[in-house]
Amino acid sequence: MQSTLLSRFTGCLIGEALGDAVGELAFSARTRDLLDSEVEKAELLRYTDDTAMALGIAQCLVESGSVAPEPLGRIFHANYSREPWRGYASGPPSIFARVQAVGIKYSEAASALFGGRGSFGNGSAMRVAPVGLFYHKSPELYERACESAMPTHTHPLALDGAAVQAKAVALAIGLPPGGAFSPRSFLEALEGFARTTEFRSKIRLALDLILSGASDPDAARTLGKSVAVHESLPFSLYSFAKYPASFRECIYCAVLNGGDRDTMGAMAGAISGAYLGVASLPGEWREKLENSVLFSELAASLMHNLPLS
């Protein structure tokens, strides 16, 4: 039982990193064959800011048992300062610079972005998977996911998106990987968990597209695939719910239909890895993953420090 849960936790973190790294390659290798050959040629599968920030959240949970915005902001900031080349968008670095210059709180700097509306980029959802793992049985899951968004993303859509992605990971952990998977049950549970009209209607649309047999490119066009969280997250959920039995097929769907490829790979990969467990992720991808020991260690530490439920 314990080893099954550990394999899901590890699968989630490694799945996130693999989807991110393979998705990043898909910006230049835009077909399945080209992508396979790029992965084969690569010595190392290198992840981007998505996974770097997910690692920051896991680190904060292991160190403090919480995702309080200020300590979490300090960890994001320190990790960014060490590796600024991971492909961050403009929002987080500008928040870190402002906090450093003026001494305000991370969440205060975050809420001033984009004309005072805060960011609805997918940055809060792309990194939230460890919150989904840690609080998978907790009634506080929604609130804790929002808390983890606050150091950089304060827009209501970014908060709801973080909560929906965390819930997707939590649901995936609770489902038997060998059993019959119902896209309807999975997506309707997420629809019921979401609190914004945008997410509720997009998740419903993702289900309708699966049930009606739409093609993946049509689904991507219909749902959207940009850095806006209410576009790229619904298509990531679609990718997992359409291809639950195969990590590889799920990732091909998420990263080979244009848009924000690395982040859709990261979000879909975290859910798929949590559902299937680490042993079901492609071995030839796993053996090339940068820092893979760190993911296994963090997964074990998260599991051994779970809050009482």
- With contact defined as beta carbons under 8 Å apart, do 181 and 245 qualify? yes
Give the one residue of 4, 81, 83, 117 binding ligand AR6; rule: CB under 6 A.
117
117 binds, among ligand AR6, Mg ion, none (CB under 5 to 8 A by kind): ligand AR6
Q: Which stretch binds ligand AR6 (CB under 6 A): 118-126, 171-179, 188-196, 270-278?
A: 118-126
Q: At 42, is the secondary structure helix, strand, or coil?
A: coil
**Among residue numbers 251 through 280, which ones bind ligand AR6 (CB under 6 A)?**
260, 262-263
Residue 231 binds to Mg ion (criterion: CB under 5 A): no
Compute the least distance from the CB of residue 91 to ligand AR6, in Å: 3
Q: How far is CA 26 from the centre of its chain?
A: 17
Q: Which is nearer to ligand AR6, 130 or 183 (CB)?
A: 130
Q: Compute the Cα dihedral for 35, 36, 37, 42 and give only its sign.
A: positive
Q: Which two tokens stand for residue 275?
A: 């559902």
The item of Mg ion, ligand AR6, none sharing an interface with residue 292, based on CB under 5 to 8 Å by kind, is none
Nearest-angstrom CA–CA distance, 128 and 112 = 22
C-alpha–C-alpha distance, residues 120 and 161, integer Å: 9
CA–CA separation, 14 and 212 (whole Å): 32
H/E run at residue 20: helix 2-25
Tokens coding 33: 């064959």
Instruction: Examine residue 49 and tell whether it contacts Mg ion (CB under 5 A).
Output: yes
What residues pair up with 228 in beta bridges, in sequence order?
Answer: 121
- Taking CB under 6 A as the criterion, the residue among 122, 148, 257, 280 binding ligand AR6 is 122
Q: How far apart are CA 185 and CA 182, in angstroms?
A: 5
From 92, 244, 269, 277, residue interacting with ligand AR6 (rule: CB under 6 A): 92
Binding mask 127-166 for ligand AR6 (x = CB under 6 A): ----------------------------x-----------
Sequence length of the chain is: 309
In the window 162-221, what residues touch ligand AR6 (CB under 6 A)? none
Decide if residue 48 touches Mg ion (CB under 5 A): yes
Q: What x-and-dash track marks residues 246-285 binding Mg ion by CB under 5 A? A: ----------------x-----------------------
Q: Where are the alpha helices (DSSP H) in 69-182?
A: 69-82, 91-102, 106-111, 113-116, 123-126, 129-134, 141-149, 156-174
- The listed partner (ligand AR6, Mg ion, none) that binds 260, CB under 5 to 8 Å by sort, is ligand AR6
Stretch touching ligand AR6 by CB under 6 A, among 87-95, 190-198, 239-247, 272-280:
87-95
The yes or no reply on residue 51 touching ligand AR6 (CB under 6 A) is no
Which residue type sits at 303? M
First to last CA, the chain: 17
**Which residues of the shown chain bind Mg ion in the complex (CB under 5 A)?**
48-50, 87, 262
